[in-house]
Structure 1
Amino acid sequence: MLIVGRIINGLSVGIESAQVPVYIAEISPPSKRGRFIGFQQWAITWGILIMYYISYGCAQIGKNEWNDHTTANWRVPWALQMIPAIFLFFMMMPLPESPRWLARKDRWEECHGVLTLVHGQGDPNHPFVSYELQDIKDMCEFERRHADVTYLDLFKPRMFNRTIIGLFTQIWSQLCGMNVMMYYITYIFEMAGYTGNANLLASSIQYIINVLMTVPALLWADRWGRRKTMLIGSTLMGIWMFMNAGLLATHAEIIPRSERKQDVLSMKVSGAPAKALIAGTYLFVASFAPTWGPASWTYPPELFPLRLRSKGVALSTSGNWAFNTALGLFTPPAFANIAWKAYIVFAVFNVAAFVHVFFGFPETAGKTLEETEAMFEDPKGIPYIGTPAWKTHPVTGAMRKAEHGDIEAAAAKTAAIEKPHTPPVEEHEVSPNKQ
């Protein structure tokens, strides 16, 4: 039953983690989209922190003696997962439907109503409501040529670049090493000499850091832009990984396998180097939380056109969970066999992520989802790629003016951008069942 429960839970979390960013992206004002999707990541960090302390508290049940209540130390945390799930179920009922989904179903009156609610402060004649509605109409008109789509459409020439970007946004967020720091932090602290309650409490500090350091992203993510956020994050995380590798390489003692408590505990370090190792771990989490943490959920929904957005984000999210699983299997034998060199592996991944983002990830901050589509289809850009990534910039300021009724600001901002329905569509890229 435990296995069945885990399967059901995994499927449910997979669906939610793929669709929640899509919904938030489609209903948010463009100038605040990063902030609103970032709240999802902030909620995740709160959930991790709360469950850590619940599990820590429950671990004390029956600690000194075996009795009929001892199994409560794992049954209680598992049972408590039902509470937020039930709360979420009922709180989602009054939420409005995505205006872009309503538009695809030709429910234009409802679409206009939702746009009025979320963008017009109740005014159906608000200039930005009309602006957004026209953008959605233009996109829907273009996409009627692609009535039937499958996951294979994500790998056609015009979409392949975006699929790779979306996938690697989530893959790099795993390969940077953050979840290794979260999952195996107690082992790292034990190598630094912390055991028992001291280990568990010291480990919990990084979960607090994760919550607190996500807040700057909520405040300034849209102003910073997606590219700058991810580039800075990769740089800082790479530095801390190289630093920890250097500390362990020069100061750690490799423990013979026959003397290890567990195979993963392959090193021990003490004194000032141990404190520096812990500081480097905390700094790593503080670097991930305001950068790749929120950006990895904000960016993929902004990449894909309406007809493929759900499928594209679902595929990207599957990359996250696949590499999460792979790293869970890789890390223990890595620490056991290559010891401090495991940090070098993750440091190199951060360098690779920096290069990939710089040359391949265009800026989407401040653009409507339809304008992002036009950027990828720019006829003056690189074939099948669009505007070169390093030539793109956030335009949040102009979009904020447009949202307050200054549509001329938005017009000036997009004057050089082609409308999304203008690019020619090659016949072989249209689904054979097109209507």
Structure 2
Amino acid sequence: MAIGIQLRGRNLYRLMQFICGTSFMMYGYDAGVLGGVLLHPAFLDAIGNPTGEWVIPWISSSYSLSACITCAIVATFAFKIGRRGTIILGNVAAVIGSIIQATANSVAQLTVGRVITGFAIGCISSAVPTYLGETGVEVGDRGPANAFNAIMLISGVPIAYWIDYGFTKSEAQYSWRVPIAFQCIFAIVAGTCMFFLPDTPRYYYARNLHAEGDEALARLNDAPIDSEKVQITKREILLAIEAEDEAKSSLHWKMFLTSGIIDRTPMKIIRRLCICFWLPMIREWMGSSLMAYYSSVILSRVGARASLVSLLSGILNICFAAGCVPLYFTIERVGRRSVLMYGAMAMSVLMLIFTVLQAVPPTQSIRWAGIGIIFVFLFVFGYAWQGCVWLYCSEIPPLEYRHIGGAFTGFGEWLMTFITVFAGPTGLTNVGWHFWLWVLSGNLVAIVFVFFLCPETGGKTLEQVDYLFSESGFVAGLKKSDKVEQGWSETKKAEDHVEIKD
């Protein structure tokens, strides 16, 4: 284990949050930076002014496709190198991919750079939420930490936009190469600092590295390893690992074909992993990537004047990031399930109104109403779904499958992002206002999915989340879940009291 800077307690966890947030800010920056230079004359000159209809969409979407495939591959090796190792690998790959992109003089070289950077983002998006969730000491740590991560992620998009906006006033080659190379700063800072941080205690215990797990747990709690608090947490983790080992025997790959609906495992492991895949996929279906990647195109089609499109796009991305801020202060009080479900309801209403406005004959008032709804929609989206999905999907997988859950989360996210980014322009051009019915349907599906399949995980330790899925009915009523949790906690307290007394 890396020794590094011997920070302890809250200071150590704050540093972890900052480093993970910096990695996610690079993720957001990289998602937005190319969009600002794709039609820049200097950029097109450098790659030979391609004329093929699918060249530009392919350059954009190759990044998402690479991230998608990477997330599937990450599931095979992430447990061996750890959450920390996966994040470091992602940041190293990001530096390499950024340099290749920034020095590109052909479509082929640019595509290679995008693919390598997509690999980097696949690693980071799979591991960071899990790392944050497993290093939190208090039950209420996970929500604010992942909300802060979402703020950093979405903030990367407007930063990229405004850097592009400033540099592309010039026609020189540096006007697009510098913005693309700039993301190396995020990766170098995050990767270097992460090298000096420990991995998560839960990862160490799952790998039978008990000495390293004890040290990490003691540092995070800022308490001696033999303290009551540290020992109780350790015991909970080891009991969860033992329970998961017993549940493995009933696993079968065929259960994945039914998305976990037929799941006879005692802890519903398959179903939980399938939720990790479908929840972020539904999020992209709801329209976030479409509006982030093609904000200028959408605003133009809604009716914004050409002279205002660039300015409105930049403000729109800032509004998206601002929506994530209230989540930091409210997620532990409101709860994950309520934020997701009621957010989806609000967005469904907004998208329905927006679709109707696009279907009726346009007037100046209708155009500005449509633009206003886009702003409100993205603000609500930032609050309700952007950070909460990462948080929820990092909480529900069992410990020894959490790296797979992170990989499934990234896979669902990037698969739907690839489809959206690649097919979005065609849909906006050829389908007209009917295209927004597809986005509306995603928001409606989100309501149903959360209502029936997503129990509340707030106020519980990661080990206690197992008990939400341990009954045959899958999602027990809240009162019943609370009784199970309360009984389990009282039993553990009694055991701890006896052991400590002995």
Specify the alignment match of 1:32 in structure 2. Answer: 141
Does the aligned pair in 1 maintain the 2:302–2:358 contact within 8 Å? no
Report 1 or 2 for greater relative contact order, CA contacts < 8 Å, sequence distance ≥ 6. Answer: 1
What is the Cα deviation at residue 241 of structure 1?
0.8
What is the Cα deviation at residue 105 of structure 1?
2.4
CA distance, structure 2, for counterparts of residue 105 and residue 146 of structure 1: 18
CA distance, structure 2, for counterparts of residue 393 and residue 197 of structure 1: 58
The answer to whether residue 246 in structure 2 is matched with residue 136 in structure 1 is no
Corresponding letter in the other structure for 2:487: A
Alpha carbons of structure 1 residues 199 and 236: separation in structure 2 relative to 1, 3 Å: same
What is the Cα deviation at residue 76 of structure 1?
1.5
Does the aligned pair in 1 maintain the 2:132–2:142 contact within 8 Å? yes
The answer to whether residue 302 in structure 2 is matched with residue 189 in structure 1 is no
What is the Cα deviation at residue 392 of structure 1?
7.0
Alpha carbons of structure 1 residues 211 and 154: separation in structure 2 relative to 1, 3 Å: farther
Corresponding letter in the other structure for 2:189: F
**Which residue of the other structure, out of 357, 365, 378, is the alignment partner of 1:247?**
357
CA distance, structure 2, for counterparts of residue 234 and residue 101 of structure 1: 34
CA distance, structure 2, for counterparts of residue 236 and residue 416 of structure 1: 37
The 5 Å alignment of 1:172-251 reads 172-251=282-361
Does the aligned pair in 2 maintain the 1:154–1:312 contact within 8 Å? no
What is the Cα deviation at residue 413 of structure 1?
4.9
CA distance, structure 1, for counterparts of residue 192 and residue 408 of structure 2: 27
What is the Cα deviation at residue 160 of structure 1?
2.5
CA distance, structure 2, for counterparts of residue 32 and residue 287 of structure 1: 23
CA distance, structure 1, for counterparts of residue 440 and residue 240 of structure 2: 41
**Which residue of the other structure, out of 187, 211, 216, is the alignment partner of 1:114?**
216
Corresponding letter in the other structure for 1:220: T
CA distance, structure 1, for counterparts of residue 228 and residue 485 of structure 2: 16
Q: Percent identity?
A: 26
**Which residue of the other structure, out of 382, 387, 390, is the alignment partner of 2:475?**
387
**Which residue of the other structure, out of 189, 200, 204, is the alignment partner of 1:87?**
189
The 5 Å alignment of 1:29-428 reads 29-62=138-171, 69=172, 71-118=173-220, 120-124=221-225, 126-145=227-246, 152=253, 155=256, 157=263, 158=265, 159-252=269-362, 270-378=363-471, 381-382=472-473, 386-388=474-476, 391=478, 413-415=485-487
Alpha carbons of structure 1 residues 73 and 147: separation in structure 2 relative to 1, 3 Å: same
Alpha carbons of structure 1 residues 104 and 23: separation in structure 2 relative to 1, 3 Å: same
SS in 2 for 1:92: helix
Higher helix share: 2
What is the Cα deviation at residue 61 of structure 1?
0.8
Corresponding letter in the other structure for 1:332: P
Alpha carbons of structure 1 residues 9 and 418: separation in structure 2 relative to 1, 3 Å: farther
Alpha carbons of structure 1 residues 152 and 25: separation in structure 2 relative to 1, 3 Å: farther
Paired residue total: 374
CA distance, structure 2, for counterparts of residue 299 and residue 154 of structure 1: 22
User: Which stretches in structure 1 are left out of the alignment for 5+ residues?
Assistant: 63-68, 253-269, 396-410, 421-435
Alpha carbons of structure 1 residues 418 and 354: separation in structure 2 relative to 1, 3 Å: farther
**For each residue in 1:304-350, what CA deviation from the matched residue of structure 2 results, as whole angstroms up to 9, or x when unmatched?**
11111101220221111010010112322222222112222211211
Corresponding letter in the other structure for 1:363: E
SS in 2 for 1:84: helix
User: Which stretches in structure 2 are left out of the alignment for 5+ residues?
Assistant: 1-108, 493-502
What is the Cα deviation at residue 166 of structure 1?
1.2
Specify the alignment match of 1:3 in structure 2. Answer: 111
What is the Cα deviation at residue 179 of structure 1?
1.5
What is the Cα deviation at residue 247 of structure 1?
0.9
**For each residue in 1:166-205, what CA deviation from the matched residue of structure 2 results, as whole angstroms up to 9, or x when unmatched?**
1111011101111112222212222344344521111111
What is the Cα deviation at residue 32 of structure 1?
2.0
What is the Cα deviation at residue 106 of structure 1?
2.2
Does the aligned pair in 2 maintain the 1:363–1:392 contact within 8 Å? no
Does the aligned pair in 2 maintain the 1:238–1:346 contact within 8 Å? no
CA distance, structure 2, for counterparts of residue 113 and residue 142 of structure 1: 24
Specify the alignment match of 1:423 in structure 2. Answer: none
SS in 2 for 1:218: helix
After TM superposition, the structure 1 stretch with the greater mean CA deviation from structure 2, 30-39 or 122-131, is: 122-131
Alpha carbons of structure 1 residues 13 and 317: separation in structure 2 relative to 1, 3 Å: same
Corresponding letter in the other structure for 1:116: A
After TM superposition, the structure 1 stretch with the greater mean CA deviation from structure 2, 122-131 or 19-28, is: 122-131
After TM superposition, the structure 1 stretch with the greater mean CA deviation from structure 2, 183-192 or 362-371, is: 183-192
Does the aligned pair in 1 maintain the 2:467–2:485 contact within 8 Å? no
CA distance, structure 1, for counterparts of residue 354 and residue 341 of structure 2: 20
What is the Cα deviation at residue 387 of structure 1?
3.0
TM-score when normalising by structure 1: 0.80
Corresponding letter in the other structure for 2:365: A
CA distance, structure 1, for counterparts of residue 313 and residue 481 of structure 2: 37
SS in 2 for 1:340: helix
Corresponding letter in the other structure for 1:177: G
Does the aligned pair in 2 maintain the 1:190–1:199 contact within 8 Å? yes
Corresponding letter in the other structure for 1:201: L
SS in 1 for 2:169: coil
CA distance, structure 1, for counterparts of residue 321 and residue 445 of structure 2: 27
CA distance, structure 2, for counterparts of residue 250 and residue 121 of structure 1: 62
Alpha carbons of structure 1 residues 377 and 419: separation in structure 2 relative to 1, 3 Å: farther
CA distance, structure 2, for counterparts of residue 302 and residue 138 of structure 1: 17
SS in 2 for 1:289: helix
CA distance, structure 1, for counterparts of residue 287 and residue 383 of structure 2: 15
